[in-house]
Structure 1
Amino acid sequence: MTTTTERIRVMVAKPGLDGHDRGAKVIARALRDAGVEVVYTGLHQTPRQIVDAALQEDVHGIGLSILSGAHLTLFAEVLALLREADAEDITVFGGGIVPDADIPVLRDLGVAAVFTPGTPTRDIVAWVAGHVGPALAATPSGSG
């Protein structure tokens, strides 16, 4: 039985060859400070490593941070691997350098939200609180 006190568990992941993790660490810290359990994967993770770790850690959400421009390919692969693992209940969201024109494409692929540079951390924390894991279970029909 899920209780209302269940904490949201989010994995913050850096897929691909992108070596800049300051933004990911800032988001991880903001989520942690807000009471979210955060698992940080570190740099240079493959989509397979990210999904395997998400399943092992039993997370409710995966926040992908990317600055390299490979977001369409890497996000799509993470989503495909989650489908293969029958783990589509894990909410995938992302952030980083993503051109405005690519955001609807990512949304169509199944990315729940995309946060670009300059998004206040409080907005990301509030979105996670309302759209990931236990928050979804507490809303009628899972919509938030």
Structure 2
Amino acid sequence: MSVEEDQRAIRCLVAKVGLDGHDRGAHVISRAFRDAGFEVIYSGLHNAPDEIVQAAVQEDVDVLGISILSGAHNTLVPKIVAGLEEYGAFEDTLIILGGVIPDKDKAGLEEAGVDAIFGPGTPMEETIEFVRENAPER
């Protein structure tokens, strides 16, 4: 068995938070992650922050990809980070954010615990490589 076969696939939860009903980007990144060999779980629409935290903890994910276009990122994303901290899962989870995030909000989200923000038009390979290079090893 090669080293690659011995390692488990990177587990990713792609989550839609809040009342945002636009999920095309979440579907696109889910498929790209799957095609890259990641194990992908998709949350579906309209999840509360605590539901996303519960799913991330129960599924023991390496990566949490949050997709949001509603404009509520400054409220909802910190709640997710706080929930992961409460469960002791923050340090072991790479948190990435996708969607239309104004430049003025990016620093605050990164300070809150988001590892990277990918906006519209980001090449899929850039996101995939970031995850490969930064996902926690278990």
Please indicate the TM-score interval, normalised by the length of the shorter structure.
over 0.9
Q: Which residue of the partner structure matches residue 125 of structure 2?
A: 122
* CA-CA distance at 1:133 after TM superposition: 2.7
* Structure 1 unmatched runs, 5+: 138-144
Q: Does 1:51 align with 2:62?
A: no
Contact 1:64 / 1:93 at 8 angstroms: preserved in 2?
A: yes
Q: Which residue of the partner structure matches residue 94 of structure 2?
A: 91
Equivalent residue of 2:65, what SS?
A: strand
* Structure 2 unmatched runs, 5+: none
Equivalent residue of 1:93, what SS?
A: strand
Q: Does 1:102 align with 2:105?
A: yes
Given residue 14 of structure 2, which amino acid in structure 1 is its aligned partner?
V
Following the alignment from structure 2 to structure 1, what is the Cα–Cα distance between the partners of residues 77 and 24?
A: 20
Deviations 1:53-92 (A, max 9, x none): 1111110110000000000111100000001111111111
Identity %: 50
Following the alignment from structure 2 to structure 1, what is the Cα–Cα distance between the partners of residues 123 and 25?
A: 11
Equivalent residue of 1:122, what SS?
A: helix
Deviations 1:78-113 (A, max 9, x none): 000001111111111101010011111111111000
Question: After superposition, where does 1:63-82 map in structure 2 within 5 Å?
Answer: 63-82=65-84
Deviations 1:3-58 (A, max 9, x none): 76221101000000000000000000000000000000000001100010111111
Deviations 1:103-129 (A, max 9, x none): 111111110000011101111111111
* Pick aligned residue for 2:62 from 45, 60, 63: 60
Q: Which residue of the partner structure matches residue 142 of structure 1?
A: none
Output the TM-score relative to the length of structure 1: 0.89
Contact 1:9 / 1:133 at 8 angstroms: preserved in 2?
A: no
* Pick aligned residue for 1:36 from 38, 44, 55: 38
Output the TM-score relative to the length of structure 2: 0.93
Q: Which residue of the partner structure matches residue 113 of structure 1?
A: 116
Which consecutive segments of 4 or more residues in structure 1 shift more than 6 A?
Answer: none
Given residue 89 of structure 2, which amino acid in structure 1 is its aligned partner?
A
Given residue 120 of structure 2, which amino acid in structure 1 is its aligned partner?
P
